[in-house]
A = this chain, B = another copy of it.
Amino acid sequence: MKITKAAIERAEKLIQPYIHKTPVLTNQSINELTGIDFYFKCENFQKIGAFKIRGGMHATLNLTPTQLKSGIATHSSGNHAQALAFAGKTLGIKAYIVMPSSSPQVKVNAVRGYGAEVIICEPNQQAREAALNKVVAETGASFIHPYDNDDVIIGQATCVKEFIEEVPDLEVVITPVGGGGLLSGTCMGAYYYKPDLKVYAGEPEGAADAVLSIQTGKVEKAPFINTIADGLLTTLSERTLAIIKEHVTTIFLVSDEEIKSALKLIYERMKIIVEPSCVVPFAAAIKNKELFKGKKVGIILSGGNVDLTKFAEWFPPST
C-alpha cells in the first residue's frame, strides 16, 4: 500500500481497537533544567510496551483471509517480535518469530507468552534470514519485515498523527533511528498533517549507520557497533533511506554516557520506565539544547521493555 494521507487514516481506524492512545506527558523540572518545552509521547505505555504494535498490527490486518490462515513470520530480537506475537494471539493466527540467541531473555519470554513459536538462531544476519526463509517455505506464513515495508511505516505514522492532534503547536519532533521505520512514518505523518513540523532523529555513536548513510547517499553499515541502545543496531533500507533523506533535518549522534544521563533524568524525574534506545532523541535534544531553547519539542518515547538486571550495568553501585 502506498504511503498516503488516506492510507494513514485508514490504518488508524484499522488498528484502533487493538492499541492504546498513549498519553503525552510533560515534566516541569526537566523543562526548568533544560530550558526546552518538552512533550513526551509515551509509547512505552503502548500495548506490548512499544510503538511497534502500530506497524505490525497494521501490516497483519492488511493480509488477505487466505494469507492470514498461514500465519505471519519475522526475524527480530526486539519489539517487532512482540508486536507480531501479540497480533497473532489477538487475531487467532500463528506467528513464527526468528530470534537471535543474543536476545534479552525478557523479550524471548514475552514473545512466547503471547503464544508465538520462537525459532532461535545464531546472532548474525545470514542465520536470521536462513531461518526465516525456512519457516516461510515450510508454513506459507507471510513475512512482515520490521521496517522495510510500507504497511509497517504507515502504521508507525499514526503515532505522530496522534501527537500532533494532542499538541497542535508542536514545533519539533525527534525520534530514534534504527532501521528507520518509526522515523519514516514520523516524516510522512508530519508531511501530511503538519508540514512545518521539523523532524530530527537521534542515533547512538556506537551504531552510526544512518548518519553515514545520509553522508554517502546509500545504505551503509555502522563503522562499529558498541552501544547500550540495543534496539537501534539495524541498518536502514533503500526505502527508509529515501524518505529520511528527503524529510529529516538532522540526525544527531549521542554517546552512551549521554544516553545513560538521559535515562537517569527520565527515571528520576518522570518515574517512568523507558528503554535506552528510546531516550536517544531526548539525549540528542539536551546535547543540542541551544538549538531547541524555548521551543515545543516532541519526543517519541518509543518503548519501555528493559531487562531490569541491566540497571546494574547502567547505574553501578558507588564503591
Instruction: Report chain B residues within 8 Å CB of A309.
Output: 315-318
A155 at the interface (CB under 8 A from B): no
Can you tell how many copies of this chain the complex includes?
2
Residues of B within 8 A of A264 (CB): 308
Contacts of A268 in B (CB 8 A): 106, 308
Which one of B49, B106, B315 lies within 8 Å of A308 (CB-CB)? B315
Q: A28 → chain B, closest Cβ, in Å?
A: 9
Contacts of A273 in B (CB 8 A): 267, 271-273
* Chain B, residue nearest A110 (CB): B268
Find A271's partner among B49, B311, B313, B315 (CB 8 Å cutoff).
Answer: B49
Please report the C-alpha to C-alpha distance between residue A18 and residue B219 in the assembled complex, in whole angstroms: 52
| Chain B residues within an 8 Å CB radius of A274 | 271
Q: Do B312 and A44 touch (CB < 8 A)?
A: no
A45 on the B face (CB < 8 A): yes
- A249-281 residues with Cβ-Cβ distance < 8 A to B are 264, 267-268, 271-274
> Complex Cα distance A45/B27, Å?
10
The residue of chain B having its C-beta at the shortest distance from the C-beta of A113 within the complex is B29
Inter-chain contact B311/A315, CB cutoff 8 Å: yes
- A206 / chain B contacts, CB cutoff of 8 Å: none
